[in-house]
Structure 1
Amino acid sequence: MSAVGVTLGSTLLFFSVFTVVSAVQINITTQSGQDVTLTCRVTNNITAVEWSRANLGQKNVFLYQDGGFVPNNQHQSYKNRVALRDRGMKGGDASLILKKATTADSGTYKCRVFLRETRSWKFTIINLRVDPPDQINIKAVSGQDVTLPCRVTNNITAVEWSRAGLGQKNLFLYQDGGFVPNNQHPSYKNRVALRDRGMKGGDASLIVKKVTTADTGTYKCRVKIAETGSWKYVTINLNVSPDQMNITSESGQDVTLPCQVTNKISAVVWSRADLEPKNVFLYQDGHFFPNNQHPSYKNRVDLGDRGMKDGDASLIVEKVTTADSGTYKSRVKIAETRSWKNITINLRIPPDRSGPGGTGSIGVIVGLIVAGVAVAAGLSFCRKQKPQSQNSFQPPDDQD
């Protein structure tokens, strides 16, 4: 241990014998990637503060005394990542800012402050929990407009949208009240915009127009908080399917025809090309409308979620048969824009190979027929051969 560390430890030992030591416990939860403030405040003037954490051995997180930061015994995982919120510790504020916290930073921290007036120590215990970053999974179909959600509860001064695989380029950068196009990737020019340029209510969501399968990837939203000057992150996994989906199932199974958008839906109509003007399923204004439904789908289809939460208008078809094969179209009406979006699905149900009428049964029938023919041929052969054998074989004459 360094000389400074020994002096601090000895002072603590000496005064702990004669002084009542008080401790406060605080629980803090944050998300990975965020800057977090570990609060530690007293009402007296502070001459020294040491931040430590369980499981670091003799190393500390941060030591400040005699008017300066003492780095000698700092644990390497905290180098250049921690600093006092106020170097002067005015008003007894010894709070520590931890930058870009990760799940590895979860643990129990101790703040020890040495008070000038009483020459005593006070303790604050902080239990920090760092959760994995927010991850949102979104599915879309090629040709749709997609909203990538990003919302915080604070005022935002800047937002940057990026995507893995684009190198140093970004999707969208907005700061100082304006869009900054200099470093935008060419594939997103004139295709992306904030849902609300004013970012009211902490909304930094991004609209991507006419997505393609090439837009599939992991997106990150980084927002700068006005009050703290810190950054917060949201991660989104976007999966864009072709505008036509191909689904193959087996006869007798229940099949889900997927239909997902990122907006609130006010109506959905499922139809099939060869059944029009009849529909497969119509749901609007919170009700199912059976009047124009094709008879073959009565009591066999329903939405996976009648509330269509999170834009899910997927349809379940029960006990499909080969007659259900065909091209289906889902048309959803978006509540906000009152516009329609379409999804096309090709459903193929091959004949049942083991059930009645399938190839298995045909094989049995053919086998029986072949066996029958063979038996008949054998009997015929026997009948023809019997008299021939009697004529061709004669017993020899008796000879004297």
Structure 2
Amino acid sequence: MSYKIRLLEDSGVKSVLLPCRTTVPFPEDATVEWTDNYGNTVYLHQNRCNKPERQIQFYRDRVTMHEDRLKTGDLSLTLKHPTRADSDTYTCTVYSRKRRVLVKKQVQLQVKVQQVKVDSGTDAVRLPCETTVQLLASTVQWRDSNNRLVHMLQDGSDVLEHQDNIYRNRTEMDKDLLKTGDLSLTLKRLTYKESDVYTCTIYSRGGDVLMKKQVQLRVRDCRLEVEKGAESVLLPFKVSPELLINAKVEWWRYEPAPKLKIHCYRSGFDQPYEQSQFYRTQTEMNNDLLRTGDISLTLKRPLDGGDESYRCGVWRNGKLLGWTTVLLKVKGRVQLQEEPEDIRGRSCSIDMTPLMFERIGFSEMI
């Protein structure tokens, strides 16, 4: 028998019940075991007592069952603080002393994390998290999927000495959260590394988990439309100014073939002799980019027909720090350089998720 549970959004629920009820009579020495889809022990009751040492660490202190389970036939399992990682198929099996299977039931749990999508040029994003949990004398932590500390509050005050360096001076939480219960995190000056799943956890003074909530941040490719014959178009890309210190910026035309380097910036200056000769008078970047972090590229006289694809990478000491793809469709209403507010107002976003590109060259990536 299989049962399905779907949490459409991980909204910080305290627990979820994995149901398993039966009218089959059990001997007092029966074994009750819950396992996940990989055969790991989630919960085990054997020889009339629980066996927490047999659980894998992931489920320690997070699962409970009714005390009189064998008498009532209610073998349901309560799983505390479910997150996306708990999406799985769980099996409840009851064995006799001779390991004969008396009951076997399955429960499929699906936890879908709330998603936030951001557009290219967005300087900050809000990761939502609200709670009714009493926050006095508690600790609130935001962490990324690599368990790096993004932001921490203790008794209503920021505690950031252990914050990971990549998030320094880039995060903010509501100072009035003790009254409002709004634990949302504002993340500023986005780079490609911010496409991730973030977890907000509330701990009591004693270290117990009171609530857990996850938010998935997705940064998408930028898509622009330009009319055939347009004089110019702005390919948008904005990063943290700190990212550009001693860094190299390269823009490439990816499609149509052949692949060409269309602009290069390094050591505070454009490098026209490193770009394709065809584009030496066709591209321009903001002169104030080291202060603003705006490395958008003005492209003069884009191609007259078909779609075009452009990529930009930011490098330091051979390591890729940030990148974006801009997909340009040559049709529709013209978007000229003298109307930058309209260009930036379009639906643009940056896809900077593939962390594997940190270890490869940009020429390999394209």
Query: Could you say which TM-score interval applies, normalised by the shorter chain?
Result: 0.3 to 0.5
Larger Rg: 1
Higher RCO (C-alpha under 8 Å, 6+ residues apart)? 2
Give the TM-score normalised by structure 2: 0.43
- Structure with the higher helix share, 1 or 2: 1
Kindly indicate which of the two structures has a greater share of residues assigned to strand: 2
